[in-house]
Structure 1
Amino acid sequence: MSKKTLVSAITAALVVGAASTTFAAANPFSDVPADSWAYDAVSTLAADGVIDGYPDGTYKGQNTMTRYEMAQIVARAMAKTDIDKADKALVDKLAAEFAEELDNLGVRVADLEKKSDNVKWGGELRYRYYDADHDAGEDSTYNRVMFRLMPKAYIGESGWTANARINYSLDMGSANNAGFDPTDNDASVDLAYVEGPLFGGTVQAGRLPAFTATGLVFDDRIDGVQYTGGSDVFKTTVTAGRYRNDLATSWVNGTNLGKGFLDAFDEHISNSDITTDFYGIQFDYTPNDKLALNLGYNALTGIDFDDIDAEKAYGDTDAQIWYLGGTYKFNNSLGLSAEYAQNTSADDEDDAWRATLDYKGADPADAGSWGMYAGYADLGSNSVPAPTYDDVAGGQKGFVAGVQYVPAENILATVQYFTGEDNDVDGDNDAEKIFSQIEFFF
């Protein structure tokens, strides 16, 4: 990157901080004359301490800049607090681009961010619609808007943060076999936890997100503690806590049509509550950019259904689930993902697996990016408690496919399709589902 390009980019974000002055500061560089296009920008940035020159008093604007030189300038820019939100967004993008160089220079991006704003807000507005058909049961439609806020507060200089997730779900006319009132709307704080460094790793404590087996086994929230330690190559995650789902369980009846227990309050499939202790350990091995493997174990003990005899409905009050899987990238565009899990406590319908061929990938930060997948999944009714998928559900098996597209920055559109069967139903058990969603991130 040339210094001319740099000045054009950074001045847009930083010259605002000096807008109260009528004239630019005195130019300290002998090789930037007053009639130069860059005179005002260079002198202003130099006065603000964002850029400096060479010992001989020159700027040498025609020279090519190294990434480390650029990282130094980005660090100084991030330390400024007198720029508005739009301009700060540009500086944040530059920080993300040069994050590795900033780390090597001993500059932590998160540390610089929290100096200027102790509480950071993120979130999304999501519209989701799907239609699910069943030969052996009633069909379902889902039509909802969700507004989500995710504040993060920095706790002094400790490296710890307090995190929360606040949801408001607005029904637009869903219909299913649970007798759910479509006029019912829902507000909840479904995450509230602290996170920080401890014993050489990272600890989370509170009502926190738990995600195992790349989503095949569990994607939900628990009340407990989670520790992650290790390196970029080999990482270990240990989880322990209490799990409660207030509205639905697909595990017993195999009728979940959505994203596992995480969105259970949206799905309203059953009126049963479930409470259980949750324990897990997962090992992740990522030796290079092409290969990523995982191996783990989840235990749910003392399963208690508030209005169902767990011994009769499920066959046991414990679940011992082992799993393994991974991904392999053939090149930058094509990859293979596969995951297998088995509940050794169940007598039948005890295993689950999914394999997909993945092409490219949609990145919400990259407008115009897109990705697609196709594969097969088989989720035994008694195998996995809270899978993350929006296409196939517990108790189903069949073909899955989907595509994602980013029409503009921070807008993600998703369409998914499932065709197969409800494999724990006798007779005509064909099933089909079309899922669509658009998300606006902020």
Structure 2
Amino acid sequence: MKKHMLSALVGAALIGALSSSAAAAANPFSDVPRDHWAYDAVTQLAADGVVEGYGDGTYRGDRSITRYEMAQMTARAMAKGDLSASDRALVDRLAAEFADELNNLGVRVSNLERNADMVKWEGELRYVYLSYRDERRDGTTDKHNTNMLQVRLLPNAEINKNWRVKARLTGTTALAKDQAGNVALSYLYADGNYGKLRLQFGKMSHFWSYSDDGLVADSWFSGAIATYGSKVKVMAEAGRWNMKSAHVGISGYVPAGGDTSNHQGIGIDYANGKLQAGVAYRRWEADTFRLLPQYRRNGTSNRASIWSVGGKYSFTKNVALAARFAENTEADNYNRSYNFQLNYKGSNTKDPGSWGAYVAYRRLGGYSTLMPTYEIHRQTYKTPVHDGEFGTKGWVVGGSFAPMMNTNIDVGYFHGKSLNTGKSAETLYTRVQMFW
């Protein structure tokens, strides 16, 4: 890269903000005349001690320099701890550009990149098409299509080297009705990391365990999570869970007069090489948390006590087998769920053209799978009068493909039966995601 091309980047970023103060700065470089287009930016950076030039008093802006030389200058600028906000922003951009060269020089850029912006925004545009068909008990057939467009905005703010604040804003549009809903705050929490210890406080997702991988509850609750360990992790959480917003009750539990339950959970995960495994216990309880009388065990009516165990083994880098099982010890029926899944490869949004496929057999009992991550089954949890409200079982085949950078397409097909009626049920699912 030519030095004057770098000057263009420097000048465009700083000339407007720094021109007034740079005019008063002395020109330290004999080969940068006052009428040079980058004069203000160069002299200000030199005055701030960010750019030092060469020992002979020249900037050498008209000769070609190597990326290695530019990385050396950037490294010297990174070592300065008293830069102004505008100078620091410029140095951060240079460090990102010359990250490989800086790493070769032994200069770590991870901390610099982490502090480049105190607040970072990521996002996702998501399109979902879901079509399901279920046979009712009376012999009629229920058909329904979902055609949804969603935007997710994810601010991530750095508080200090240990703490961040994370959030997600979600806006949804029903395309068939051309009807947009309100933008909702899905979660908001503080996330602290101290080596092997991680602490989270606020409204956040349940801890993610190898034991169930979203089989039990892929939802958000208000409270706290503590995680400790690396290869072996111990996780504990406690707080309040809004059952109505998570569609609980459609799977058998009924929020009568109130929507929120007390919640506690604990889990242990292990990961080493090809093997991942875990066990977890979760409990929800509320005076208004009713288990339908015909499915109670030992007269208990206001609790869900769910154990889960499972794991995944990777035979090769492309082939992995996962098995998960969950049971609600408070219920006598619809109380067991499991998922056996064989994965081949997988798509990667940073690797256009990558793809993956899977086949699975799942049984989702309504009293042990309160809010699963498997969207292809969720229609049975969203229609309370539906015959399939207590869950489904059957085969799923699916795949994923990354057609271009930061884009992913998922497709899936489920064919099985309602646990309640034994009648057939099938779903076609498509999801397109674009990330930034």
Q: Within 1, Cα distance between the matches of 2:91 and 2:72?
A: 16
Over 3 Å counting, the alpha-carbon distance change for 1:206 and 1:320 in structure 2 is: same
Q: 1:254, 1:381 within 8 Å by CA — same for their partners in 2?
A: yes
Aligned equivalents of 2:223, 2:125: Cα separation in 1: 28
Match among 148, 168, 172 for residue 171 of structure 2 = 168
Q: Offset of 1:218 from its aligned partner? A: 1.3
Quote the residue 1:291 is aligned against.
Answer: 275
Q: Is the 8 A contact 1:160 1:195 kept in 2?
A: yes
Q: 2:284 aligns with which of 279, 297, 300?
A: 300
- Cα drift, residue 49 of structure 1: 3.6
Q: Is the 8 A contact 1:327 1:338 kept in 2?
A: yes
Structure 1 CA distance for aligned equivalents of residues 430 and 7 of structure 2: 41
* 1:439 to 2:423 alignment: no
Please give the alpha-carbon distance, in whole angstroms, between the structure 2 residues aligned to 1:11 and 1:317: 72
- Aligned mates of 1:379, 1:218 — CA distance in 2: 12
Contact 1:402 1:415 in 2 (8 A): yes
Post-superposition CA distance 1:121-145 (Å, at most 9, x none): 1110111111010011522211111
The Cα offsets for residues 286-334 of structure 1, whole Å up to 9 and x where unpaired, read as 122x1110111111112635xxx54548642101111111110110111
Does 2:17 correspond to 1:17?
Answer: no
Give, in angstroms, the shift of residue 160 of structure 1: 0.5
Alignment match, 1:116: 116
CA 234–44 in structure 1, closer or farther in 2 if over 3 Å, else same: closer
Unaligned runs of 5+ in 1: 1-6, 52-71, 73-78, 175-181, 256-269
Counterpart of 1:215 in 2: which secondary structure? Answer: coil
Provide the residue aligned with 1:61 in structure 2: none
**1:65-214 map, 5 Å:** 81-82=89-90, 107=108, 109=110, 111-136=111-136, 138-155=142-159, 157-173=160-176, 183=179, 185-197=181-193, 201-210=197-206, 211-212=208-209, 213-214=212-213
Distance 1:251 1:89 in 2: 50
Residue identity in the other structure for 1:201 = L
Corresponding residue pairs, total: 369
Pick one of 402, 414, 425 that aligns with 1:406: 402
**Change in CA separation of 1:158 and 1:253 when aligned onto 2, cut-off 3 Å:** closer
Q: Residues 4 and 61 of structure 2 are in contact (CA less than 8 Å); yes or no, is this contact kept in structure 1?
A: no
Whether the 8 Å contact between 1:279 and 1:298 is mirrored in structure 2 is: yes
Corresponding residue number in structure 2 for 1:238: 236
Q: Secondary structure at the match of 2:201?
A: strand
**Pairs within 5 Å for 1:33-48:** 39=65, 41=67, 43-48=69-74
Letter in 2 for 1:323: S
Letter of the 1:143 counterpart: N
How far off its partner does 1:274 sit? Answer: 3.4
Task: Look up the match of 1:225.
Answer: 224
Query: Counterpart of 1:392 in 2: which secondary structure?
Result: helix
Find the aligned partners of 2:180 and 2:186 in 1 and give their Cα distance: 18
Q: 1:35 to 1:172 in 2, by over 3 A?
A: closer
AA partner of residue 416 (structure 1): G
- 1:328 corresponds to which of 293, 297, 313: 313
CA contact (8 A) 1:246 1:274 kept: yes
**2:343 pairs with 358, 362, 368, which one?**
358
Q: Cα gap change, 1:82/1:185 in structure 2, threshold over 3 Å: closer, same or farther?
A: same
How do residues 415-434 of structure 1 correspond to structure 2 at under 5 angstroms? 415-425=411-421, 429-434=423-428
Q: Give, in angstroms, the shift of residue 48 of structure 1.
A: 3.6
Displacement after TM superposition at 1:202 (Å): 0.6
For 1:433, give the aligned amino acid.
T
Sequence identity percentage: 27
Unaligned runs of 5+ in 2: 13-36, 43-50, 80-86, 381-390
Over residues 17-44 of structure 1, what are the superposed CA-to-partner deviations in whole Å (9 max), with x where a residue is unaligned? 3676479986689xxx9999x5365554
Question: For residues 35 and 326 of structure 1, do their structure 2 counterparts lie closer, same or farther at Cα, with a shift above 3 Å needed?
Answer: same
- TM-score normalised according to structure 1 size: 0.73
CA contact (8 A) 1:278 1:299 kept: yes
Highest Rg: 1 or 2? 2
CA distance in 2, matches of 1:153, 1:214: 27
Query: Cα distance 1:26–1:239, how it changes in 2: closer, same or farther (>3 A)?
Result: closer
User: How far off its partner does 1:116 sit?
Assistant: 2.3
**Could you give the per-residue CA deviations for residues 193-212 of structure 1, whole angstroms, max 9, x where no partner exists?**
10103595010000011134
